[in-house]
Amino acid sequence: VTNVLVCVKRVPDVGSAVTLTPDAQGVDARHVGFTTSAHEACAVELAVRIAADTGGTATVLTVGDGDAVEQLRTALGVGCTAATLVETDPAALGPVDVAREIAAVVRSHEGDGRGHDLVLLGNDAADSGDFQVGIRLAYLLERPVVNGVKTVSVEGGTVTAVGDGPDGVETFRVPLPAVVTVLEGGVEPRYPTITGRMKAKKTPIETREPAGAPAGPGRVRLTLPPAQPSTVEILGRGPEAAPAVVDLLESLGVTR
């Protein structure tokens, strides 16, 4: 029986253009909406599979404002059965703070007799891109951590995690309890069913105060890189442009 905690983050769903808030502290998402950070849909899928395979539970956690309940409900809709919101202004937190908040929830749940043998996170958040929350969490919990893997399975108290390394496909095996961070691509996240959505609506959200005062992200301000004026040279329209393209490829020495 493996009880999994999977951590997700509500992030702006940026398309091809980003606008900053007037105070230069965040991305202005009023016109783009929000989503769950990319790798985490796969982390949720893995959590739900591991819970099903081992007869355990999958709990979803986010550290964010009240609107982040939307991302919790999305995870509940695909098979997580409990959800926790640490309600705070996410912009005021740095990766050290987020790791501490997650650790506090893990310890608290442990104290209530519903501990999490395995904590899954995304490898990095699509917005803040800190690449470190899972690792810091592992040190706080004194657990082993495997980072940036694509598949995770549990058998007999051992986690097997597989990912791409510089020399090929790497396999890690670590004993539970453990922390694993996940990259997109190893599993296909399932779509919510109608009954899943209904259940998600009814599931109570455990809402908690932050465990401590944040140290903050160290952010001075955000800026947009200077817009480069377009210097594109149009080679032509339609298939008639093919000779011009091949002339170019030849001049660049890539036609062999």
Partner 1 sequence: MTVLVFVETGAGGVTEVSREALTFARGTGAPVHAVLIGAQPDGVLAELGAYGAEEVHHVTGSAFDAYGGATWAAGLEAALVASGADTVTAAGTPRGMEVLAHLAARRDVAMAANVVSADGDIVTRQVVGGSVLEEMRLPQRPAVFTVAGHAVEAQPAAAPTTPAVTVLEPELPPQDLVARVVSTEPAGPDRSGALTSARVVVGAGRGAGGPNGFDGVVELTEVLGGALGVSRVVTSLGWRPHHEQVGQTGSRIAPEVYIPCGISGAIQHWAGCASSKTIVAINTDDEAPMVTKATYAVIGDMHEIVPAITAEVRRRRRQG
18 vs 211, beta carbon nearer partner 1: 18
Q: From the list 130, 153, 196, 197, which residue makes contact with partner 1 (rule: CB under 8 A)?
A: 130
225 binds partner 1 (CB under 8 A): yes
Residues in the chain: 256
101 binds partner 1 (CB under 8 A): no
Residue with the two structure tokens 């739900």: 48
65 binds partner 1 (CB under 8 A): no
Q: From the list 188, 194, 202, 213, which residue makes contact with partner 1 (rule: CB under 8 A)?
A: 188
Q: From the list 56, 64, 94, 192, which residue makes contact with partner 1 (rule: CB under 8 A)?
A: 94
238 binds partner 1 (CB under 8 A): yes
Window contacting partner 1 (CB under 8 A); options: 80-88, 109-117, 138-146, 196-204? 138-146
**137: how many CB neighbours lie within 10 A of its CB?**
24
Q: How far is the CB of 94 from partner 1 (least distance, A)?
A: 7
Q: From the list 53, 198, 201, 248, which residue makes contact with partner 1 (rule: CB under 8 A)?
A: 248
Q: How far is the CB of 178 from partner 1 (least distance, A)?
A: 8
- Alpha-carbon span 73 to 56, nearest angstrom: 19
Q: Which of residues 10-39 bind partner 1 (CB under 8 A)?
A: 12, 14-18, 20, 27, 38-39
**38: how many CB neighbours lie within 10 A of its CB?**
16
Q: From the list 1, 194, 213, 232, which residue makes contact with partner 1 (rule: CB under 8 A)?
A: 232
Q: 177 with 120: CB under 8 angstroms?
A: no
CA distances, 164 to each of 126, 147, 184, 241 (Å): 20, 11, 12, 39
Secondary structure (DSSP) of 104-152: HHHHHHHHTT---SEEEEESS-TTT----HHHHHHHHHT--EEEEESEE
Q: Which of residues 144-173 bind partner 1 (CB under 8 A)?
A: 144-148, 164-173
Q: Is the link from the previous residue into 217 a cis peptide, with omega within 30 of 0?
A: no
127 binds partner 1 (CB under 8 A): yes
Q: How far is the CB of 7 from partner 1 (least distance, A)?
A: 16
Query: Beta strands 158-165 and 178-182: pairing type?
Result: unpaired
243 binds partner 1 (CB under 8 A): yes
236 binds partner 1 (CB under 8 A): yes
10 vs 69, beta carbon nearer partner 1: 10
Query: Beta strands 145-149 and 158-165: pairing type?
Result: unpaired
Number of residues that bind partner 1 (CB under 8 A): 84
**164: how many CB neighbours lie within 10 A of its CB?**
14
